Structure 1
Amino acid sequence: MVRWLQGRAELLPRANAGVAHRRRAKEVTTPSDVAAWMKATLDEEGTLYQDVAAANIAVKFGEPFVTISEVSGNQVIDKAVLAAFNKITKDVVWIRSERYWRPRQPHDVTGRQQPY
């Protein structure tokens, strides 16, 4: 049997056939992954409220991507996630008074943060 299989390694069952699948299942989520989810949600829904996003991030991606604000005591999105989100969303503005992101509109002032 061994002589017949020599040179035909593709016919042998791979000892580590499931390793690649196990690696994919254990891949580490990064702030960029979370930011991509935020962008996709914003693109789909048209707005992204910070409190709703933080709650969904905690459930979908885990506690490492949210923190508790020292000022308000509310759950907020981690700074590394926000930095990654800012890098991939150049045409998005932050409405500070209502704490949400939306696509830039013609009447918006320069910069990400809007005064209203």
Structure 2
Amino acid sequence: MNNSSTSTAQSVTEHSGLVAVLTDLQRQGWRASELWDGEAWGPIHAIWSADEIAKHAAETELAKLRFLSESTAGHEGVMLLVWGNSPIELIADMTMANGFGEAVELAQRSVWPHYPEEE
């Protein structure tokens, strides 16, 4: 492992990692549509940036994000976020159906090239 990849991995926080993953998922055609705050699903407004979505998600210790596929009607995915572990472990679980799991893993590799292993 070279020092530059170690330095990059160590500089990624839970927040910045989630922002990068959300941005990559959007690029792949998965739009965050709802946020579970521990009590109820609430809408994610279309004008919210990935940074704003991450800030709202961080307000709940166990948050869930629901995503809709922009290319295939009816396809959705859910991501469970558990705050307080290492940034690479923030996404604790996800829907594996309809290509969502693969999209999340690809997005995580855009942040952590050796995902699922920590660098």
TM-score by length of 1: 0.25
Which structure has the greater CA radius of gyration? 1
Q: Which of the pair has the greater relative contact order for Cα pairs under 8 Å at 6+ separation?
A: 2
Q: Which has the higher strand share?
A: 2
TM-score by length of 2: 0.25
